[in-house]
């Protein structure tokens, strides 16, 4: 796909943790205007390549940051090895012309990211009376001076508290010095405070964006 690609043999590459890694074949080119790095490893074994070899190559390619990952085996691959290779986007090529079980590979980028969200957001009200006049209510109906209280808490969560890096339950509390009148589902109540609880959830994401061949 890139006639200007440069191919080298038996090259040493530095991985992301600072280790030197030997690569049988290194391919450097471009795809869709972006630089692409490919590595190929050749196995001259007297038996089919198993899943342990594929897993080791997958980790090696990941640490190097290779976009194209190809394994070549003189005797082919076991079924379990091909299943892992397909999952890890590793191309498997064999010198056996009668072997139909060969896995394809993808060319592209692997993206890593951290998704931080606020979940299970809940509003509670501290009424001025000892007995709560209302047991349940819709959070989106809480208003003070015709302004939605929930929107104020949401803004706080996604601005002042957006950089929270620890998972868990968080509580924001607003206490009034004097009784305040707020509207709940169209009715007016005297309250002493409003609280918002929310769960901080942090998830690591990995996505492969490429062209499957």
* Per-residue pLDDT reduced to its tens digit, 7-29: 999 999 999 889 999 999 999 98
Whole-number average pLDDT of the chain:
87
Give the residue from 46, 81, 104 where a domain finishes: 104
Residue 41 host element (H or E): strand 34-43
Chain segment 93-152, per-residue pLDDT in tens: 987 666 666 666 555 556 667 788 999 999 999 999 988 898 888 988 999 989 999 999
Q: Are residues 83 and 132 in the same domain?
A: no
Mention every residue, 6+ apart, whose C-beta is less than 8 A from residue 38: 26, 27, 28, 29, 66, 67, 68, 69, 70, 107
Same domain, 117 and 70: no
Instruction: Determine the structural domain holding residue 120 and report its residue range.
Output: 113-204
> What residues have CB less than 8 Å from 75, skipping those under 6 apart?
45, 46, 47, 48, 49, 94, 95, 96
Which of 39, 69, 104 delimits the end of a domain? 104
122 and 200 co-located in one domain:
yes
CATH code of the domain in which 37 resides: 3.40.1350.10
Same domain membership, residue 97 and residue 118? no
Q: Does a structural domain hold residue 1? A: no
Interaxial angle between packed helices 51-64 and 79-87, expressed in degrees from 0 to 180 and rounded to the nearest 10: 20
Strands 20-31 and 6-14: antiparallel
pLDDT greater than 70 at residue 213 = no
What CA–CA distance (Å, rounded) separates 93 from 99?
10
How much is the average pLDDT of 186-209?
87
Beta strand spans in 44-167 (E): 68-73, 91-94, 106-127, 143-144, 147-148
What is the C-alpha to C-alpha distance for residues 104 and 29, in angstroms, rounded to an integer? Answer: 19
Q: How many domains are contained in the chain?
A: 2
């Amino acid at each position: 796909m890139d006639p200007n690609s440069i191919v080298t043999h038996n090259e040493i590459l530095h991985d992301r943790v600072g280790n030197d890694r030997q690569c049988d074949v290194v391919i450097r080119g471009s795809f869709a205007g972006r630089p692409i790095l490919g590595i190929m490893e050749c196995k001259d074994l007297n038996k089919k390549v198993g899943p342990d070899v594929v897993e080791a190559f997958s980790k090696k390619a990941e640490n190097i940051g290779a976009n194209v990952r190809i394994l070549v085996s003189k005797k082919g691959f076991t079924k379990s090895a091909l299943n892992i290779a397909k999952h890890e986007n590793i191309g498997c090529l064999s010198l056996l012309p009668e072997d139909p079980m060969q896995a394809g590979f993808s060319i592209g980028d692997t993206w890593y990211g951290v998704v931080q969200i606020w979940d299970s957001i809940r509003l509670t009200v501290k009424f001025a009376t000892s007995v709560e006049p209302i047991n349940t209510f819709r959070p989106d109906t809480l208003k003070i001076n015709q302004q939605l209280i929930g929107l104020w808490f949401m803004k706080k969560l996604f601005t002042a508290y957006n950089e929270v890096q620890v998972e868990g339950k968080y509580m924001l509390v607003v206490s009034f010095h004097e009784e305040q009148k707020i509207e709940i589902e169209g009715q007016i109540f005297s309250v002493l405070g409003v609280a918002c609880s929310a769960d901080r959830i942090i998830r690591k994401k990995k996505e492969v964006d490429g062209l499957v061949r």
